[in-house]
Amino acid sequence: MLTTRMLAYEREDLAKAEFALNSDAGGGQLNADGEPVVYLIQAAEKTYATWDMTVRNPGGHSSRPRPDNAIYDLANAITKIQNYRFPVRWSEMTLAFFEETGEQLGGEVGAAMIQFANNPRDEVASDRLAIESSYVGTTRTTCVVTMLQAGHAENALPQSATATVNCRIFPGVPAQAIEEALKHVVDNDAIEFKALEEPTESPISPLRPDVVDAVKKAVHTRYPGMKVMGFMESGGTDGMHFRKAGVPTLAVSGLFMNPDENFSHGLNERVPVKAFYGALDHWSIILRELAGD
């Protein structure tokens, strides 16, 4: 995001923009049968933060094991993070999202969404949504281990072991509070925590009527009657920097797909062919509507 930071913080002319459109979030959700569920305009996103968690040890020869081992100690800490759930959090936007999406989706997951929208303190509902990768991020802060690095030789005891922990923090929660929570969870003062970069916290952007109307026209051209609503992104996009710089940003992707088929950043990342070509018309309609005559 180096270019994004430059555009957001160093271009005074761009800082005067009334709003920005982001293509990297939002979009239409379809069910497993390809039927429309809801179209989401991303008006907020969680704070992206990453820490390296490192254990150090004198090491030694593998034929002379010692009771403390950097990899074992790190593995123990990872298991504790895996088993920990951050407190449930919500906003008017996330509750409205679950209420509408639950009614459209139906079934067991849809019922849990409606139950959560009616009472976010309902542990049965939040526990059910916690196992849904597409929706757990909308219910709370999440932290997950994404990379490992340990040892230097197969016949030596490891002198260090590092796990990278990536967190998506619910808006309004300071990143420092999450670091302290992680330290409390692993309960090992010997483990070093190092933030990889300064987290960027961003505000919620208002849903501009002119943008919403343009998006509705594009969406209903493809899926008549599809519900259009605002939501909070559980991931992170370049929009965070423009929002922080004072430019309200709405993400209105032209992709329509089943969220369970979203493997962004994976080696199997892809989009349906139909979604790709449909997105070209989607953006053409929105830009022409907003540009006017």
Looking at the DSSP assignment, which residues form a beta bridge with residue 53?
163, 193
Going by the DSSP 8-state scheme, the letter that residue 154 receives in this structure is T
Examine the domain organization and report whether 176 and 58 are in the same domain: yes
Give the three-state DSSP class for 88.
Answer: strand
Verify that 40 and 54 share a domain, yes or no: no
Give burial (CB, 10 Å; 0-12/13-18/19+) of 19: middle
**CATH code assigned at 65:** 3.30.70.360
pLDDT band for position 255 (50/70/90)?
A: very high
Q: Are residues 171 and 46 in contact, defined by beta-carbon separation less than 8 angstroms?
A: yes
Model pLDDT for residues 62-88, shown as the tens digit of each residue? 999 999 999 999 999 999 999 999 999
pLDDT band at 235 (very low <50, low <70, confident <90, very high): confident
Q: What is the CATH number of the domain that holds 30?
A: 3.40.630.10
Q: Do residues 39 and 52 share a domain?
A: no
Q: Do 144 and 64 lie in a common domain?
A: yes
- Sheet strands (E) in the chain: 20-22, 27-30, 36-45, 47-56, 60-61, 142-150, 156-157, 160-169, 192-195, 228-233, 249-251, 256-257
User: Do 80 and 11 lie in a common domain?
Assistant: no
Q: How much is the pLDDT for 234?
A: 86
Q: What is the DSSP letter of 145?
A: E
- The domain boundary, picked from 175, 195, 215, lies at 195
- The pLDDT confidence band at residue 258, using thresholds 50, 70 and 90, is confident
> In this model, does residue 21 exceed pLDDT 80?
yes
Domain end call among 168, 195, 222: 195
- Which tokens go with 155? 């016949």
Within this chain, do residues 95 and 216 fall inside the same structural domain, yes or no? no
CB neighbour burial string for 44-59, b if at least 16 within 10 angstroms, e if fewer? bbbbbbbbebbbebeb
Domains in the chain, number: 2
Say yes or no: 254 and 184 in one domain.
no
**More reliable by pLDDT, 29 or 19:** 19
From 195, 224, 245, give the residue that closes a domain.
195
Query: Does 182 share its domain with 270?
Result: no
Is the pLDDT confidence value at 44 over 80?
yes
> pLDDT value at position 236?
87
At 34, is the pLDDT very low, low, confident or very high (cuts 50, 70, 90)?
confident
Only one residue has tokens 């039927």, namely: 35
The predicted-structure confidence for 139-175, as pLDDT tens digits, reads as follows 999 999 999 999 999 999 999 999 999 999 998 899 9
Q: Please report which confidence band the pLDDT of residue 273 belongs to, taking 50, 70 and 90 as the band edges.
A: confident
Give the span between the Cα atoms of 167 and 145, in whole angstroms.
9
Instruction: Reduce the DSSP state of residue 81 to 3 states and report it.
Output: helix
Instruction: Give me the pLDDT at residue 172, please.
Output: 87
Percent of the chain with pLDDT over 90: 80
Q: What is the pairing mode between strands 27-30 and 36-45? A: antiparallel
Q: Are residues 61 and 179 in the same domain?
A: yes
Token pair recorded at residue 133: 């990768």
| Residue 226 lies in domain | 2-46+201-291
What is the residue-averaged pLDDT of the chain?
Answer: 94
Residues 187 and 63 both lie in one domain: yes
Residue 245 carries which side chain, given as an amino acid letter? A
Q: Are residues 121 and 245 in the same domain?
A: no
- Residue 165, classed as helix, strand or coil, is strand
* 178 and 139 part of one domain: yes
